[in-house]
Amino acid sequence: MSKPKVVVTRKWPSEVEAQLKDLYDVQLNESDIPMSSDELKLALQSADAILPTVTDVLSSDILNVENKRARIIGNFGVGYNHIDINTAKLQGLVVTNTPHVLTDCTADIAMLLLLMSARRASEGERLILQKQWIGWKPTQLIGQKVTGKTLGLIGFGRIAQAMARKAHHGFGMRIIFYSPSQPAQGIMDELQATRYETVEDVLTEANFVSLHCPGGEATRHLINEQRLKLMRPSAHLINTARGDVVDSKALIKALKEGWIAGAGLDVFEGEPNIDPGFFELDNVSLLPHLGSATEETRVAMGNRVLANLAAFFAGEEPGDRVV
């Protein structure tokens, strides 16, 4: 029996690609150049499975391509708002993701950005790299203390809870959060966390606000000009969720006019195209979507996709099916 044909849209860790070669008739992306819409359509027509990443927009137009052969979309990542889920459902396509395995590393990046923003680390590094540092002085780059402050989380899923553990147990931070649903009491007790009724309540009280909600139309520009004005002038905003959760223009204005003290961003609206207004600011720390970028996590994500594919082609239910 011939092996199922699989198309991988971007370059993956070598050990995962080696397993794909053993198990499937696989088309890899050695150049790592993102596939065009026409290339994605061809992949859906020529392969039994397509394995996209967050950089691959699988719109209704692409998923509705005629003479489709693909039966499963094995997404490399937790978020899947780049896939038109309603169309996938109508087309009878199975969609899977890779939850759980990137929780800690993404929470690490959120904590890193919080510390970078609070202590003005990006400004300090630029000062040295630009050879402008002339030595220590008592008033240089005064930032915000982190230990003992209040961390507000918008969303309280696995990554938010992991960040809360690091912040509470490591830095003695008080944890408050907004979540549409009530989490397990045991988790709240462990973190001494308090659930607030609205996003606004969290924004008003927190010293640091970290975003952990899914992307998509329901949360697009959740953090807008009106809500940014609710935050303290000494507060910092951290985003490792999805870029479109924050109105970039409003955030740039808030940082420029001092509504808040700083921001740390790992994700951006329309990435990799970043609003040039951010480059004019000193009080923002920018990272190139590094949330899950550790060797252990990226391999684990690939292995999760492999497990979902194996189940599907064996006629079983994939463990991480979202559609």
Q: Same domain, yes or no, for 128 and 94?
A: no
**Residue 294 burial by Cβ neighbours in a 10 Å radius (0-12, 13-18, 19+):** middle
Is there a contact between 134 and 141 (Cβ–Cβ < 8 Å)?
no
Nearest to 212 by CA among 290, 266, 258, 261: 266
Q: Per this entry, what is the length of the chain?
A: 323
Q: Same domain, yes or no, for 38 and 22?
A: yes
Q: Same domain, yes or no, for 27 and 108?
A: no
Range of the domain at 67: 5-101+295-313
Q: Same domain, yes or no, for 202 and 111?
A: yes
Is there a contact between 259 and 228 (Cβ–Cβ < 8 Å)?
yes
Q: Same domain, yes or no, for 132 and 226?
A: yes
Whether 71 is covered by a domain: the verdict is yes
Element (H, E) at 286: strand 284-286
Is there a contact between 63 and 88 (Cβ–Cβ < 8 Å)?
yes
Whether 318 is covered by a domain: the verdict is no
How far apart CA 77 and CA 79 sit, in angstroms, is 6
Question: pLDDT tens string for the chain (323 positions)?
Answer: 799 999 999 999 999 999 999 999 999 999 999 999 999 999 999 999 999 999 999 999 999 999 999 999 999 999 999 999 999 999 999 999 999 999 999 999 999 999 999 999 999 999 999 999 999 999 999 999 999 999 999 999 999 999 999 999 999 999 999 999 999 999 999 999 999 999 999 999 999 999 999 988 999 999 999 999 999 999 999 999 999 999 999 999 999 999 999 999 999 999 999 999 999 999 999 999 999 999 999 999 999 999 999 999 999 999 999 99
Q: Same domain, yes or no, for 176 and 304?
A: no
Sign of the alpha-carbon torsion through 223, 224, 227, 233 = positive
Residue spans of beta strands (DSSP E) within 84-124: 94-96
Q: Same domain, yes or no, for 209 and 193?
A: yes
Element (H, E) at 26: strand 25-27
Q: Same domain, yes or no, for 161 and 206?
A: yes
> At 244, phi and psi to the nearest 5?
-75, 0
Q: What is the dihedral of CA 194, 199, 205, 211, to 10 degrees?
A: 90
How far apart CA 283 and CA 117 sit, in angstroms, is 7
Whether 126 is covered by a domain: the verdict is yes
Q: Same domain, yes or no, for 22 and 161?
A: no
Q: What is the CATH number of the domain that holds 11?
A: 3.40.50.720
Could you give the residue numbers annotated as active site?
242, 271, 289
Element (H, E) at 200: helix 199-205
Q: Same domain, yes or no, for 299 and 280?
A: no
Is there a contact between 162 and 109 (Cβ–Cβ < 8 Å)?
no
Structural domain tally of the chain?
A: 2
272: preceding bond cis by omega (within 30 degrees) = yes
Whether 321 is covered by a domain: the verdict is no
Is there a contact between 103 and 155 (Cβ–Cβ < 8 Å)?
no
Whether 53 is covered by a domain: the verdict is yes
Whether 67 is covered by a domain: the verdict is yes
Whether 207 is covered by a domain: the verdict is yes
Q: Same domain, yes or no, for 178 and 264?
A: yes
pTM for the model stands at 0.95
Q: Same domain, yes or no, for 91 and 216?
A: no
Sequence-separated (6 or more) residues with CB below 8 Å from residue 206: 150, 151, 152, 176, 231, 232, 235
Instruction: Extract the tokens encoding 309.
Output: 């594919």
Whether 322 is covered by a domain: the verdict is no
